């Protein structure tokens, strides 16, 4: 019992530490890249609170020990990417590439998905947003989605496998719509400004990593869990929600 509690405490501490590592990554990238200096200085407290939320989200799911070794590095990269996208609308390759390779490595023994599903997931994740952006560009003569979003979805596809991509995009679209609604209620002018989609992708990806790894997920959600998964994974539903969610981040 003592060892069991110690293992949980170490895992929780590792997730909290992800906030500090993410802070170091963000500040280093901001110093070395040409980003806007007018933004407020990033505070450690903000990253620690984000990491605390990420850590608390794991408690109901109780992921197996083998998955716990991979979750803190994934959390670090997702936190850093979400904050950089929020502050600068920027998802740097120096973070999305390690996330992608980490997903492929962890699935060498099918932690979240078989390796072939992970490879297809990476390719399909990038290709789906590329195609959607190409269609938008034909209609509006400009890009609607940043290439960083392509790469982040590809990285999450490498972790979760191609079968989870419809649900991932659906959840991210709903998160994106929720963010747009919250911003619009606070400030009407916010409706006219593009919002970052990478934050919604990171949040949805983390939730699905926990749901797929968590031993308690079916018990927690029961029939609602399985029915919701099957309905949201429907391609038609995914397409409608994806377009709506992505549209919340497009320029008018």
Q: How many residues does the chain have?
A: 252
Dist CA 134 CA 142 (whole Å) = 9
Look at residue 162 and tell me if it is in a domain.
yes
Look at residue 21 and tell me if it is in a domain.
no
Q: Smallest Cα–Cα separation from 208: which of 49, 200, 176?
A: 200
Dist CA 245 CA 132 (whole Å) = 12
Dist CA 16 CA 75 (whole Å) = 9
Look at residue 43 and tell me if it is in a domain.
no
- Give the model confidence (pLDDT) of 69-110 as tens digits: 999 999 999 999 999 999 888 999 999 999 999 999 999 999
- Give the model confidence (pLDDT) of 199-211 as tens digits: 999 999 999 999 9
Task: Quote the pLDDT of residue 236.
Answer: 55
Look at residue 96 and tell me if it is in a domain.
yes
- Give the model confidence (pLDDT) of 114-151 as tens digits: 999 999 999 999 999 999 889 888 888 888 788 899 99
Q: Residue 38: pLDDT band by 50, 70, 90 thresholds? A: low
Q: Is 217 helix (H, G, I), strand (E, B) or coil?
A: helix
Q: Provide the whole-model pTM.
A: 0.85
User: How many Cα atoms occupy the beta-carbon half-sphere of 124 within 13 Å?
Assistant: 18
Dist CA 145 CA 151 (whole Å) = 11
- Give the model confidence (pLDDT) of 209-229 as tens digits: 999 886 665 555 544 445 455
182 φ/ψ angles, rounded to the nearest 5 degrees: -65, -40
Are 201 and 172 within 8 A, CB to CB?
A: yes
Total Cβ atoms within 10 A of residue 81: 29
Look at residue 34 and tell me if it is in a domain.
no
Task: Quote the pLDDT of residue 223.
Answer: 46
Dist CA 182 CA 190 (whole Å) = 9
Look at residue 212 and tell me if it is in a domain.
yes
Beta carbons within 8 Å of 157's beta carbon, 6+ residues apart: 103, 118, 120, 121, 122, 123, 124, 125, 126, 164, 165, 168
Count of domains for the chain: 1
Look at residue 209 and tell me if it is in a domain.
yes
Domain extent for 118? 73-247
Dist CA 240 CA 243 (whole Å) = 5
In whole numbers, what is the pLDDT of the chain averaged over residues?
A: 83
Beta carbons within 8 Å of 100's beta carbon, 6+ residues apart: 122, 151, 154, 155, 158
Q: Smallest Cα–Cα separation from 47: which of 76, 13, 8?
A: 76
Look at residue 223 and tell me if it is in a domain.
yes
């Amino acid at each position: 019992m003592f060892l069991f509690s110690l293992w949980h405490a170490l895992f929780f501490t590792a997730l909290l530490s992800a906030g500090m590592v993410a802070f170091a990554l963000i500040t280093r990238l901001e110093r070395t890249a040409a980003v806007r200096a007018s933004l407020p200085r990033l505070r450690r407290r903000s990253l620690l609170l984000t990491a605390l939320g990420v850590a608390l989200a794991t408690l109901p799911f109780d992921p197996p020990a083998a998955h716990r070794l991979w979750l803190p590095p994934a959390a670090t990269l997702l936190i850093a990417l979400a904050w950089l996208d929020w502050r600068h609308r920027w998802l740097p390759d120096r973070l999305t590439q390690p996330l992608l390779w980490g997903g492929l490595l962890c699935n060498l023994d099918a932690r979240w998905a078989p390796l072939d599903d992970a490879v297809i997931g990476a390719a399909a994740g990038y290709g789906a947003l590329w195609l959607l952006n190409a269609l938008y560009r034909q209609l509006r003569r400009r890009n609607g989605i940043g290439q960083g979003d392509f790469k982040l979805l590809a990285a999450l596809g490498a972790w979760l496998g191609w079968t989870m991509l419809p649900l991932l995009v659906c959840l991210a679209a709903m998160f994106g719509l929720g963010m747009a609604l919250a911003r619009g209620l606070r400030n009407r002018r916010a409706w006219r400004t593009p919002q970052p989609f990478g934050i919604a992708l990171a949040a949805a990806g983390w939730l699905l990593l926990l749901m797929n790894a968590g031993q308690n997920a079916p018990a927690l959600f029961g029939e609602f869990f399985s029915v919701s998964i099957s309905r949201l994974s429907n391609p038609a539903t995914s397409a409608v929600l994806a377009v709506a969610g992505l549209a919340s981040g497009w320029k008018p």
